[in-house]
Amino acid sequence: MPSSRKKLVVVALGGLAGVAGAWTYFRRRDATDRQPQKKKVEDIDLSLKQVQVIFRHGARTPLHLIPGIEEATYDKKKWRKPFPLTVYDYEVLNIDGKEAPDSKYEEYYNKLGLLKGGCPHGMLTYLGQVQTYNLGRRLRKCYIGKLPGRLMSEFDPDLVYLRTTNMNRTKDSLRCVLAGIFGAEQLQEYNEKNGQKVTFYTSTQEDEHLFPNPHTCPVLKRINRAAIVDGVDLPEFLEERQEIEKVLGLKGNDWKHKIHFISARDDLVARSAHGLPIPKVLVPYVTKITENAVQLFTYSFIGQHELQNDIASNLSSGRMLEQFRNAIRDFVIEKRPVRLFLYSAHDSSLMALLLALKLDDKHWPPFASDLLFELHQCNNSKEYYVIVRYNGEAVVLPKLKKRYVEIGQESAVPLKYFMRYLNEEKVMEAREYRKVCESNILDIIAEEIEKREGLKIEDKEAEEMTDRPAGM
């Protein structure tokens, strides 16, 4: 890392006060030993017990536009209409069962006005509805039906939990995924037969943990800011940013006329997904914009220095992983019978989890991507096993590689090792989360960086502040 960039990293870290010694607290011990597993389990001896799926919403209109080029046209007659196979009645409640809170994010999007063509910013389009419906069809093929080993054959609210962030595109995506799994007609029949609507649950902006949320944690907010606000001036991106600005006729002297790689990628990806042309002047820079955006995206979840990585990653993903762990635990101890969890979330949700579990392949999670946790039980030994899948393909958690066992043509990790790994290294419970978020952990890390590298810590006033997680 060039020393000039390291200096800017440190600059973005100051200003928090709280519990001393938090950095030492996060030097976690190794959760696994190094003994390989020789055991094989026949797949015929396993029964599928539970599936948890967290997925990104489908294709949407852009949240950000690139300055200096003509705005793309998103025709509301083509993209704003509902996909017929996903239409049924549903209601959205707060996670405590009370009335759903207003969405501050939607209020922000409304203030932006309509895009050229009449569509709102960040709206799930017709294409996005089809994508998430197809995700639901894939899930149905794997997990739903009357065949042995399936979770259930029809929708049952006691066995299915439906969770979404409080944004229209994630609510609509959940609607479409559920329709793909159970069928819109069957869901409407359930409504009419039972005199109640299918229920989705959401949370307030201040309490949401289905993505790395800067509103819940000052430390996470500072890490996020260092990437998506101060990151625009990081030396490693400066030359390429200025080259693109020059091509577009931008002077880059103020915030609105600088090229932000994450925002620029957002505009380009939305155009590409919907078959809209990429401006010719930007075609030579698409790859570089994408690569730089992914790097800044990563920084927003794990920080820009190796000493920040563990704490930043735990803050970004630990509360999500806590929810997944609790769902498994409650099922195993017969506290909660839910067999299918659907979490409708964002690219930031998936990227934070992929980075935390060391599954990241340096690619931005595409629209309608999913990360899935299967819980199986051996019929003979009654031991539980976990299989993790990303976009339908089984993946191996690197830290637990030697703990995996063969199950037919696939590999699974015994639940006891999976849970120990989450508990000792990845999960961050509410009390722990608050303690670290209120601490001076970034000051401690900055001092350690200074000690190691001889850097001087300076104060820097950013041009503008943002509270919105990268990529969302």
Q: Which of 454, 450, 364 is nearest to 14 (CA)?
A: 450
- CB 220, CB 212: distance < 8 Å: yes
Q: What CA–CA distance (Å, rounded) separates 401 from 100? A: 42
The answer to whether 45 touches 87, Cβ cutoff 8 Å, is no
Radius of gyration of the chain (CA): 23
Tens of pLDDT along the chain (472 residues) come to 444 434 334 334 433 333 334 444 444 444 444 444 446 777 668 999 999 999 999 999 999 999 999 999 999 999 999 999 999 999 999 999 999 999 999 999 999 999 999 999 999 999 999 999 999 999 999 999 998 889 999 999 999 999 999 999 999 999 999 999 999 999 999 999 999 999 999 999 999 999 999 999 999 999 999 998 888 889 999 999 999 999 999 986 777 789 999 999 999 999 999 999 999 999 999 999 999 999 999 999 999 989 999 999 999 999 999 999 999 999 999 999 999 999 999 999 999 999 999 997 789 999 999 999 999 999 999 999 999 999 999 999 999 999 999 988 889 999 999 999 999 999 999 999 999 999 999 888 888 877 776 544 344 434 433 556 666 6
The Cα 299–Cα 351 span in angstroms is 11
- The pLDDT, as a whole number, for residue 457 is 39
| Residue (of 272, 204, 276, 225) closest to 462 by Cα position | 225
Query: Can you state the angle between helices 430-437 and 218-228, rounded to 10 degrees?
Result: 60
For position 148, what pLDDT does the model report?
Answer: 85
- Tokens 């339908």 found at: 392
Q: Which residue, chain included where needed, has tokens 């155009």?
A: 271
The reported pTM is 0.89
Distance, in Å, from the CA atom of 305 to the CA atom of 299, rounded to the nearest integer, reads 9
CA distance linking residue 195 with residue 241, whole number of Å:
57
Residue whose C-alpha is closest to residue 175's, from 120, 121, 129: 129
Residue 306: which of 6, 3, 4 has the closest Cα? 6
Cα(73)–Cα(83) distance, rounded to whole angstroms?
Answer: 20
Q: Can you tell me the distance from the alpha carbon of 228 to that of 299, in angstroms, rounded to the nearest whole number?
A: 9
Give the class (CATH, top level) of 40-203+311-426. alpha beta
pLDDT at 456: 44
